[in-house]
Chains A and B, each alone.
Chain A
Amino acid sequence: AQSVSQHNHHVILSEAASLELGCNYSYGGTVNLFWYVQYPGQHLQLLLKYFSGDPLVKGIKGFEAEFIKSKFSFNLRKPSVQWSDTAEYFCAGARNAGKSTFGDGTTLTVKP
């Protein structure tokens, strides 16, 4: 069965700290991977996506993620977080046009 797991349920960082949120997937064959962000009171927004090619993908707001096939991982990173990055982050996987399978999310709190 297809699954996506996120390692951390809640992460607390100080401003300017570096961020890495873990995501592992279990899919047979080709998979598209995504990170979404949900800011307080707002809807899910796409941060970045990986379909193929360069395993290091860059998204909006300085976020990036690295697809490591051998580890079935797609971790999200940001070198220096800001208070405005406080949000919930979801990793998701999908086949070309099929359903997306989401992890349970990581709540990031950035202290000013």
Chain B
Amino acid sequence: DAGVTQSPTHLIKTRGQQVTLRCSPKSGHDTVSWYQQALGQGPQFIFQYYEEEERQRGNFPDRFSGHQFPNYSSELNVNALLLGDSALYLCASSFGLAGGYYEQYFGPGTRLTVT
């Protein structure tokens, strides 16, 4: 059973460029959340996708956008990159939005460096 997978593993971009990160959820999961983890900090919630719609969003500017596909995989897009966007980007998958149990499984992350 494949867990959460992310690509690419590492990425180096220049300020002002755009980047797309990809995530495939764990088998059986239909909800994908994205987090940004800066060095020395805990992950910060960017947004969550369910049924191909953004359901919740954290305190991130509109430069951060996403998409979920019918097969539940997801993309995170960041436009007009800033040096401060350098971080580990984590994808987490879970099943559904309702109910009392909510357990996320995290992928290995994509390390983005902006120069």
**A, B co-complexed:** yes
Looking at chain B's contact residues, the main secondary structure is: loop
The yes or no answer to A100 lying at the interface (CB within 8 A) is yes
State whether A99 touches B48 (Cβ < 8 A).
yes
- Within 8 Å CB of B56, what residues of A? 98-99
From the candidates B31, B41, B97, B103, name the one contacting A104 in the complex (CB within 8 A). Answer: B41
Interface bin, chain A: 20 to 34
Total of A-B residue pairs, C-beta within 8 Å? 63
- Measured CA separation A36–B106 after assembly (Å): 10
Interface bin, chain B: 20 to 34
State whether A99 touches B58 (Cβ < 8 A).
yes
- Within 8 Å CB of A4, what residues of B? 42
Q: How far is the CB of B10 from chain A (nearest CB, A)?
A: 13
Q: How far is the CB of A50 from chain B (nearest CB, A)?
A: 11
Report the nearest A residue to B91, measured CB to CB: A43
State whether A90 touches B43 (Cβ < 8 A).
yes
State whether B98 touches A97 (Cβ < 8 A).
yes
Residues of A within 8 A of B (CB): 4, 32, 36, 42-46, 49, 51-52, 90, 92, 94-105
- Cβ contacts A to B, 6 pairs, < 8 Å: A43-B90, A43-B108, A45-B106, A94-B102, A97-B98, A101-B45
Residues of B within 8 A of A (CB): 31, 33, 35, 40-45, 48, 56, 58, 90, 92, 94, 96-109
